[in-house]
């Protein structure tokens, strides 16, 4: 029977930093059941609270990227604030940070300092260029990581400059590798009994997904570039028009699948045409076959086209926008749309938890907290802060409770 704790229940994470790369990793760890204590600056908090589209002054992204977290407002720039962090480190498993390299050392919160307090602590760094190397201390945003990692060069129309993919891909990839590295370090700690550092660079997270591009260039002299909506010499696999204005991807590049597509089109002879019968010639003649397929799909509305593809075992899918995701019954069946009610009573839709777990299923996500909502609770429970100390911390602006 499924539990509501999540597979990472029992792990405690201190999340330091802001924006996307570190906090998205914290979101995922919280999704899987870890207790995530989000350390924020009193008064301002994480800039993500105000990032992107806002309603009532709060970002519609905030309820999701901060979900399942406890907000603890502590000023890391003050020595007494850093002392509070040291007390929390003694009770934590993981510290997740995305400051510029060198910042933690300046604050005496680097790995040697933290491991002296708690030898089991795992310190996860997310930065633009990593913790060492000639560019380590440079400012590094996700867009720069996408450029240096190679994906910008291969994204977009070949006749136009490189383009962004439409989301903060570099930051998100770095967050995914941060979670993977965290879980690997947790496993290793179960054997060795000691923590370690995990060093994630945004540009490396992007480069890790760039397939054989370096080998293609160095060994074969082929430098991949932008190819628009197609993969060269792999056909048919493209976006095709429909009579109702929708765009549908059809991926029928395997020989047997292409034969089924030809049958569905009422053009079985195409499967025996020397230009199209096999993968190699079909790739050489991809413009011709795409033209034939596009002329056919444009006579059908998207629902009929997709049903025809389904009936004939041909992979296909509509190019989705947000309204499509919100209305799709498959999304709904797999709990891929969750609604998080923010502090203003707005039910904010967000992506559900990925992946799904058969036994240790996490509880439903809790929306991102108010700034400092859990400061008093956490400091009393984990740092031993009594009422007099709490009053002094608040008076000095070192720590604070939610003001909203």
Q: How many CB atoms lie within 10 A of CB 362?
A: 22
Chain centre distance of CA 356: 16
What size, in residues, is the chain?
A: 404
Q: In terms of Cα–Cα distance, which of 155, 179, 153 is closest to 167?
A: 155
Q: In terms of Cα–Cα distance, which of 153, 125, 154, 155 is closest to 140?
A: 125
- Which letter does DSSP use for residue 367 in this model? P
For 188, list phi and psi in degrees, rounded to 5.
-60, -35
Residue 78 DSSP SS3: coil
CB 347 within 8 A of CB 337: no
- Catalytic residue list: 171
337, β-bridge pairs = 351
CB 299 within 8 A of CB 266: no
Chain centre distance of CA 13: 18
CB 60 within 8 A of CB 52: yes
Q: Which helix (H) or strand (E) holds 70?
A: strand 69-74
Q: In terms of Cα–Cα distance, which of 297, 294, 325, 292 is closest to 309?
A: 297
Rounded Cα distance between 323 and 337, Å, is 11
CB 132 within 8 A of CB 108: no
Angle, CA of 185, 186 and 191, to the nearest 5°: 90
Contacts of 31 (CB under 8 A, 6+ apart): 6, 67, 68, 353, 362, 365
Look up residue 30 and give its two tokens: 């919280």
Peptide bond into 44 cis (omega under 30): no
Rounded Cα distance between 317 and 82, Å, is 51
């Amino acid at each position: 029977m499924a539990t509501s704790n999540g597979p990472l229940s029992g792990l405690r994470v201190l999340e330091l930093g802001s924006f996307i790369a570190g906090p998205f990793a914290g979101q995922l760890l919280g999704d899987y059941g870890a207790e995530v204590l989000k350390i924020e600056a009193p008064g301002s908090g994480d800039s993500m609270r105000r990032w992107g589209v806002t309603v009532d002054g709060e970002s519609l992204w905030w309820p999701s990227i901060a979900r399942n977290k406890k907000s603890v407002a502590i000023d890391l720039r003050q020595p007494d604030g850093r002392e509070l962090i040291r007390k929390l480190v003694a009770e934590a498993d993981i510290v997740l940070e995305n400051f510029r390299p060198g910042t933690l050392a300046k604050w005496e919160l680097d790995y040697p300092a933290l491991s002296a307090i708690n030898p089991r602590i795992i310190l996860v760094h997310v930065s633009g260029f990593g913790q060492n190397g000639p560019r380590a201390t440079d400012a590094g945003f996700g867009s720069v990581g996408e450029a240096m990692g190679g994906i910008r060069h291969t994204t977009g129309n070949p006749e136009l400059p490189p383009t962004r993919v439409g989301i903060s891909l570099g930051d998100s990839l770095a967050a995914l590798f941060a979670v993977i590295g965290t879980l690997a370090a947790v496993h290793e700690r179960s054997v060795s009994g000691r923590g370690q550092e995990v060093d994630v660079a945004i540009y490396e997270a992007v480069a890790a997904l760039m397939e054989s591009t370096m080998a293609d260039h160095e060994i074969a002299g082929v430098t991949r570039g932008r190819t628009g909506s197609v993969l060269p010499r792999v056909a048919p696999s493209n976006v095709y028009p429909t009579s109702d204005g929708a765009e549908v991807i059809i991926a029928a590049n395997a020989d047997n699948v292409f034969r089924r597509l030809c049958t569905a089109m009422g053009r079985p002879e195409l499967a025996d045409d020397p230009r199209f019968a096999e993968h190699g010639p079909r790739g050489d003649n991809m413009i011709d076959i795409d033209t034939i397929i596009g002329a056919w799909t444009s006579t059908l509305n998207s629902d009929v086209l997709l049903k025809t593809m389904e009936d004939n075992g041909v992979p296909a899918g509509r190019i989705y926008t947000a309204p499509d995701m919100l209305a799709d019954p498959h999304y709904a069946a797999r709990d891929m749309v969750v609604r998080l009610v923010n502090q203003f009573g707005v039910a904010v839709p967000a992506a559900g938890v990925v992946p799904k777990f058969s036994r240790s299923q996490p509880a439903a996500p809790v929306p991102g907290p108010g700034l400092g909502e859990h400061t008093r609770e956490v400091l009393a429970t984990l740092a031993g802060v009594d009422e007099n100390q709490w009053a002094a911390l608040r008076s000095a602006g070192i720590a604070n409770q939610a003001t909203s």
